[in-house]
C-alpha cells in the first residue's frame, strides 16, 4: 500500500493534513486543507505544524478555520493493481523456432509503479 504524504518539515514523521502556499506578490502564507496532489512550491504540513506556522515579519497568514482532516483514500492503488493484473494476464511472446538457441528460462518479473508482478511457480 502507498504511504500517505508526510509533513514537509525536516524530521517530522507525521501525516500531512494541510498544504502551505506562499503568495509572494501579496506577502501572504495560506494554510488550507491538504491539496489533492503534491504541487511544486507548496508544502504539506501535519496538524501541529499547520496550526503553529508563523510567517515572516510583514507577511499575513491566512489559515483554514475548521478541522484538518486526513486525506481520503485514493483509487491510485486500485488502478495500479488492476493494471498489474492486466499486464500479467497478457499472452507470453512467441517462442523462438526450434533451430535457434534459447536462453535458460528464468522467471519473469514485471514492475508497475510500486507493485511487482511475480508469476506463479509451475
To 5 degrees, how large is the angle CA 18–CA 79–CA 85?
Answer: 150
To 5 degrees, how large is the angle CA 17–CA 40–CA 5?
Answer: 30
Rounded mean pLDDT, 72-101:
63
pLDDT per residue as tens digits for the range 48-74: 999 999 988 999 999 988 788 776 655
Least confident span in 15-19, 67-71, 99-103: 99-103
What are the residue ranges spanned by the domains of the chain? 1-86
pTM passes above 0.75: no
CB-CB contact of 34 with 71 (8 Å) = yes
- Residue 46: predicted pLDDT: 94
**Which runs of consecutive H residues, i.e. helices, occur in 30-100?**
47-52, 76-89
**Grid coordinates given for 98:** 526450434
Amino acid at each position: 500500500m502507498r504511504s500517505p504524504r508526510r509533513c514537509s518539515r525536516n524530521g517530522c514523521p507525521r501525516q500531512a493534513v494541510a498544504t502551505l502556499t506562499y503568495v509572494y506578490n501579496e506577502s501572504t502564507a495560506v494554510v488550507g486543507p491538504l491539496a489533492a496532489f503534491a504541487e511544486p512550491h507548496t508544502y504539506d504540513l501535519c496538524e501541529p505544524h499547520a496550526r503553529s506556522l508563523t510567517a515572516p515579519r510583514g507577511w499575513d497568514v491566512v489559515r483554514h478555520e475548521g478541522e484538518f482532516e486526513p486525506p481520503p483514500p485514493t483509487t491510485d492503488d486500485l488502478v495500479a493493481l488492476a493494471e498489474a493484473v492486466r499486464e500479467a494476464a497478457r499472452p507470453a511472446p512467441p517462442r523462438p523456432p526450434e533451430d535457434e538457441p534459447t536462453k535458460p528460462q528464468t522467471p519473469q518479473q514485471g514492475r508497475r509503479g510500486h507493485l511487482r508482478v511475480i508469476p506463479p511457480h509451475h
